[in-house]
A = this chain, B = another copy of it.
Amino acid sequence: MHVTMKKIADLAGVSRGTVDRVLNGRGKVKAEVAHRIKEIAKTLDYTPNTVAKSLSSRKKKTKICVILHAQRNLFFDDVIKGVEEAATTIKDFGIQVEVRLGYNFDPDYQLSLLDGAVAEGFNAIAITAINDPRIIECIKKYSGDGLPIVLLSSWLDIEDVLAYVGCDYPKSGSLSAGLINLLTKGSAKIGIVSPPFSMLGHRLRIDAFNASIASEYRGLEVLATLEIPFDDEQAYIITRRMLEKHPEIDTLFYATGAFSGGLRAVKDLGLYGKLTIVSVDLAVPVMQGLQDKGITATICQNPVGQGFMAIRVLFDNLIMGKLPEKRETLIEPTIKIRESIL
């Protein structure tokens, strides 16, 4: 019971060093011996002991860098909280985690953070990567070089990467559709406001929203779909124009972070509290809106869990050489209403 390297070494009639070489692919071992060791390990169902492993390799510090694409906000505060929670549990494994904030979705700056982290010898990276060709190129390159990289919270289709940990955008979209159906008893004129589709996830979300309506909820009708930048002034203008152009709109699916501008437009038009509004995430104005019943519900994506999982996936890979089962670790979206945040 409980197989160790020593036991395998004894059975194979070699030293632990040799077993180590075979099982961890360090240096050359005579083929015949290697084969024998592998057989024994397999027969005995050997699994290396993570705890011993990390204790023994404590000298060569292992460092994980978490790179975000903007300054802190409520969402990233939660992501960071999850990251730090995970960091605490793996601290004693000699793994250090460092968070570096980006600046205003600036690709150049993020690029410099990325290169900087690699130059400083970080052993793994979690990044909310900006959808920019140079960044994608850069991530591909480092991944190709064997650096474990996790895309955190922002979906990009990069195969080479270790994993994507973040929102299940399609599910977030269909969940929103189902919820709006319930909240409006199956009949609604909907205006959609989305962040730019250049962030791929957002398109996936809206597509799923529409697909869900088309297949299940015929009483829901989408009158307008707007992409707006992360800019509250723009949000105000565009949202206002949409509501003026479509006075029949009684429901807003407001799937963007630039919330206060849009909310102001709703208020200025005297529609606050009259519209059914479903939002995403939990920014400050959303919290406020739920509180005073102007916002009906919001679809969250468990940012704490995202941060936590990103670190776990990297930890498992660094310590165990483990690949995640699926390249996408999708975090379950959840419905929050007023009482959820009380």
Residues of A within 8 A of B (CB): 49-52, 54-55, 92-94, 171, 174-175, 177-179, 182-183, 185, 212, 296-297, 332, 334-340, 342
Contacts and interface: CB of A to CB of B under 8 A. Distances in A.
A174 B49 CA distance: 46
A334 B334 contact: yes
Contacts of A332: 340
A340 B183 contact: no
A212 B339 CA distance: 9
A182 B54 contact: no
A4 to B, nearest CB: 10
A332 to B, nearest CB: 8
A92 B51 CA distance: 6
Contacts of A179: 337, 339
Given A171-B339, A177-B339, 6 more contacts: A55-B55, A174-B339, A182-B183, A332-B340, A335-B336, A335-B340
* The 7 nearest A-B residue pairs measured at CB: A178-B339, A50-B92, A335-B335, A175-B339, A51-B92, A174-B339, A49-B92
Nearest to A184: B185
A335 B278 CA distance: 14
- By secondary structure, the A interface counts as helix
Contacts of A51: 51, 54-55, 92-94
17 contacts: A49-B92, A50-B92, A51-B92, A51-B93, A51-B94, A55-B55, A174-B342, A178-B337, A179-B337, A179-B339, A182-B296, A182-B297, A183-B183, A185-B185, A332-B340, A334-B335, A335-B335
Contacts of A93: 51
Contacts of A49: 55, 92
Contacts of A52: 55, 92
Contacts of A171: 339, 342
